[in-house]
A and B are shown apart, each in its own frame.
Chain A
């Protein structure tokens, strides 16, 4: 449906591998006819630790927001364990500005299933749970159909492809809670509890789902695994940015002519993504601000975008992060006060309420921002806002607190003028 629009001529050099341009690929026959489940066969001929090694050397980093090296995460899992080990595939996809995993469910679900199987083989798991946000009912049914077909064809279940490897995959439907995308909260949700994040340590690799060793990976991360096994780590590690390689699903939304999800190598210039891939800003307006990776990532000024690339190092140097690679573009007429108020409202509503700094801090920030929005702010409010954000950051069990603080901090740092202007307008506004 909103698969990437036809790519501009010049950019066709990248041949898509996560969302290939093959209509019907969601059907198992088409998937098989296009080399599907060959990576699984190849992986089953390797030793599990060789698969982990391959993923390590590929330098794949997680696509769920933190860019954590996947091979390293997998190597934290104990080789021998008295308890069963579990894989959780994170398809909660609720970070505002993010709509990429949904494309995988719809257009290439077997790639995700194949990746899940390879991951289970590598880490010695007999069960995997794919957790999907409850609102994605339609996409859950699409993935379930693919899963049923994969089971019927002997790729999932007992003695897969005639080997001793057995694993079951279960789709677990969420029920509306952004926090359940946080990995420990996700595990509590699967266990049938309120989705509260857990204190770490212990880390999931030691003590995760039902107290057993567990790995949690994002849907897109897992979908990269068959690509690595099929093409080899060498090929993969040379795609895009050296320290953060591979294909990346980049979502572009907001003020662009051609919004959508685009598959491209990491490290593409941000301005090129906005102007060439996403068709530029309507009315040829200037860009006031860009959120590069979902609403929790630090906001960038329109005039600082030159030279920034979509990879972990470049965005870090620019004072932001890749996050979920959901780019939100705001044109020169955008009311940024309204934007930051809405973002903060989101984190306030979604805070689970366990930690005081997050529970109280987010609502306090929201109330102050409402004052700005309604032209009732005073000069001291700016520093008060910064102070609250600084006191949330790093002081909570999970990173939702940070996610709420970063947009506010970056907005004050980079757009202080907007706040000051609003304070001035608050004092000099003629009330009708």
Chain B
């Protein structure tokens, strides 16, 4: 299920950790980046690769907010609404996106293109307000910047 390249990476990583269980997060990341989410099948695959029971893997996956068992939409917009962002207008940003996409946090648009989440501080408090889509951070946001961003991802 992992690509050859990733399989080689796993073998390299085995040298770095004294237990195979420690490779769990790295392997789950690889799978999620390849497939978009972590299906039951792929978690079981990780289990067989690392010799870890499925129940343990499920426990780990449900602990971390960035590991997803389903990918609900093509783009997931994470708007930080923690204090520093809140003080600099994240509420308005969130409201604007809600209106534009017609969804509330936790919902998915009917075309499965967008989903919206409120998130905790992402370490961009000095460039607030901000949002993230995947690994990409969009900082010092204004309503115009949000509009441009959403249009560019059409």
Contacts and interface: CB of A to CB of B under 8 A. Distances in A.
Interface in A161-183: 168, 170, 172-178
A342 B25 contact: no
B82 A96 contact: yes
A65 B102 CA distance: 41
A338 interface: yes
A192 B125 contact: no
A172 B19 CA distance: 14
Interface string B17-39: 11101111110110000000000
B19 A194 contact: no
B126 A96 contact: no
A135 B122 contact: yes
Nearest to B52: A192
- Chain B interface: which size bin? 35 or more
A236 to B, nearest CB: 26
Q: Which of B29, B52, B86, B136 has the most CB of A within 10 A?
A: B86
Nearest to A83: B18
B131 to A, nearest CB: 12
Interface in A309-366: 326, 328, 330, 334, 338-339, 342-343, 346, 349-350
A94 B66 contact: no
Contacts, number: 144
Contact of A328 (B28, B66, B84): B84
A195 interface: yes
A156 B23 CA distance: 21
B137 A350 contact: no
Interface string B109-127: 0000000000011111111
B92 to A, nearest CB: 14
Contacts of A138: 135-137
Q: Is the interface of A mostly helix, strand, loop or mixed?
A: mixed
Interface stretch (A97-105, A115-123, A223-231): A97-105
B45 to A, nearest CB: 16
Contact of B86 (A136, A173, A189, A342): A342
Given A94-B120, A251-B125, A350-B120, A191 B19 contact: yes
A210 B26 CA distance: 17
A179 to B, nearest CB: 9
Contact of A176 (B17, B64, B128, B134): B64
B132 A135 contact: yes
A254 B83 contact: yes
A349 B120 contact: yes
B83 A99 contact: no
A346 B85 CA distance: 13
A1 interface: yes
B150 interface: no
B125 A175 contact: no
Contacts of B86: 338-339, 342
Nearest to A259: B126
Given A191-B19, A194-B60, A259-B128, A96 B84 contact: yes
B125 A253 contact: yes
A102 B123 contact: yes
A174 B66 CA distance: 9
A192 B21 contact: yes
Interface in A67-110: 84, 93-99, 101-102
B21 A2 contact: no
Contacts of B83: 96-97, 254, 291, 295, 328, 339, 342-343
Contact of A175 (B25, B52, B128): B25
A97 B81 CA distance: 12
Contact of A96 (B65, B120, B127): B120
A175 B126 CA distance: 23
Contacts of B19: 191-192, 210
12 contacts: A1-B139, A2-B127, A96-B84, A97-B83, A133-B123, A136-B123, A192-B24, A192-B50, A194-B60, A253-B126, A259-B128, A338-B86
- 10 cross-chain pairs, A with B, having the tightest CB-CB distances, nearest first: A137-B135, A176-B66, A192-B24, A175-B64, A176-B65, A253-B125, A192-B21, A96-B121, A253-B84, A194-B63
Interface of B: 13, 16-19, 21-26, 28-29, 50, 52, 59-60, 63-67, 81-84, 86-88, 120-128, 132, 134-137, 139
Given A133-B123, A138-B135, A176-B67, 8 more contacts: A97-B125, A135-B66, A175-B25, A192-B19, A194-B59, A255-B87, A255-B88, A259-B125
